């Protein structure tokens, strides 16, 4: 693994996330710091494939850095907000926007076109090491008959290895639960290392059976790009979070 300084010049455009280039017919976005923190009326979209608008139903979770996947089987009301705890949402319901909030953690969006399933994942190191990506793929398969080989996933903006030094609190569980850890962690000093969280998630998506050509990533680092993103680590507190979401069109 090479660790390089974030190479995106300030003000450069947002890189492609795979869903757009593969012409997947779902609307989705990765938010920026221009996104309002509240979901009360509608979401102003920072990065969107097909233009801002209001959504009939918005579903979010009380995120707890777990591996819990919440399955939405029925259409919720206008602007429905979950108080349920969990860190991934999957649904086969059209016109239901599933969203996650991040500020350094990785937002991952998923779509399986053939079965009409979408999902959104919030993956920090705890969720990633715990296996939330595999859990989400499994939920889509078990609950909706989706196939991993038909899924497209987009890995959104998050803290990059350029800025993500971790200690034994992260390194020890990573080593014990993820045998391929040398591919995503570069040790620096004793008990310290830099973690490539996006690469860990990419490996887990591949291990879940999704072809490489169907995985995209936005390689912006939330810590480097203070012009675009909130960063918990840079700001030392929660100043704001970015929303990322995906929605199936009306049936």
**Which residues in this chain contact Zn ion in the complex, by CB under 5 A?**
6, 160, 162-163, 221, 223-224
CA distance 158 to 6: 12
- The least CB distance from residue 161 to Zn ion, in Å, is 8
- The least CB distance from residue 237 to Zn ion, in Å, is 19
Shorter beta-carbon distance to Zn ion: residue 3 or 81: 3
The tokens describing 29, both together, are 């976005």
Q: ∠ CA 127-2-135 to the nearest 5 degrees?
A: 20
Shorter beta-carbon distance to Zn ion: residue 81 or 163: 163
From start to end of the chain, where are the E strands?
A: 27-30, 57-59, 69-72, 88-91, 96-102, 106-112, 117-123, 151-155, 165-166, 185-187, 193-195, 215-217, 242-247
Q: Name the residue with the smallest CB distance to Zn ion.
A: 221
Shorter beta-carbon distance to Zn ion: residue 121 or 221: 221
Shorter beta-carbon distance to Zn ion: residue 143 or 235: 235
- The least CB distance from residue 223 to Zn ion, in Å, is 4
Supply the angle between the helices 197-207 and 132-144 in degrees, to the nearest 10.
Answer: 30
Cβ–Cβ < 8 Å for 30, 242 = yes
CA distance 167 to 87: 23
Parallel, antiparallel, or unpaired: how do β-strands 57-59 and 96-102 relate?
Answer: parallel
| Edge-first strand listing for the sheet containing 88-91 | 69-72, 88-91, 117-123, 106-112, 151-155, 215-217
Shorter beta-carbon distance to Zn ion: residue 160 or 208: 160
- The least CB distance from residue 59 to Zn ion, in Å, is 31
- The least CB distance from residue 118 to Zn ion, in Å, is 29
Shorter beta-carbon distance to Zn ion: residue 101 or 223: 223
In 3D space, the residue among 193, 177, 180, 192 whose CA is nearest the CA of residue 129 turns out to be: 177
Instruction: Output the CA–CA distances (angstroms, integers) from residue 13 to 46, 69, 205, 220, 225, in the order listed.
Output: 12, 32, 26, 10, 12
- The least CB distance from residue 15 to Zn ion, in Å, is 14
Shorter beta-carbon distance to Zn ion: residue 29 or 164: 164
- The least CB distance from residue 104 to Zn ion, in Å, is 10
């Amino acid at each position: 693994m090479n660790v390089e300084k974030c190479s995106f010049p300030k003000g450069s455009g947002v890189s492609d996330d795979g869903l757009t280039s593969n012409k997947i017919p779902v609307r989705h976005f990765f938010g920026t710091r221009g996104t309002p923190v509240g979901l009360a009326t509608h979401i102003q979209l920072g990065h969107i494939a097909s233009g801002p608008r209001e959504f009939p139903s918005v579903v979010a979770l009380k995120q707890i850095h777990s591996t819990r996947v919440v399955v939405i089987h029925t259409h919720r009301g206008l602007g429905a907000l979950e108080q349920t705890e969990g860190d991934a949402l999957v649904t086969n319901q059209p016109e239901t926007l599933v969203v996650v909030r991040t500020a350094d953690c990785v937002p991952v969006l998923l779509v399986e076109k053939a079965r009409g399933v979408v999902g959104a994942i919030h993956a920090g190191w705890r969720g990633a090491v715990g296996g939330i990506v595999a859990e989400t793929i499994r939920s889509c398969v078990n609950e909706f008959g989706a196939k991993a080989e038909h899924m497209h996933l987009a890995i959104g903006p998050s803290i990059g290895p350029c800025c993500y030094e971790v200690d034994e609190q992260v390194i020890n569980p990573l080593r014990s639960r993820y045998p391929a850890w040398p591919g995503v962690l570069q040790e620096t000093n004793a008990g310290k290392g830099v973690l490539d969280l996006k690469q860990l998630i990419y490996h887990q998506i591949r291990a879940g059976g999704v072809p490489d050509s169907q995985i995209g990533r936005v390689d912006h680092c939330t810590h480097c790009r203070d012009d675009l993103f909130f960063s918990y680590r840079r700001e030392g507190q929660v100043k704001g979070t970015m929303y990322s979401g995906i929605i199936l069109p009306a049936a």
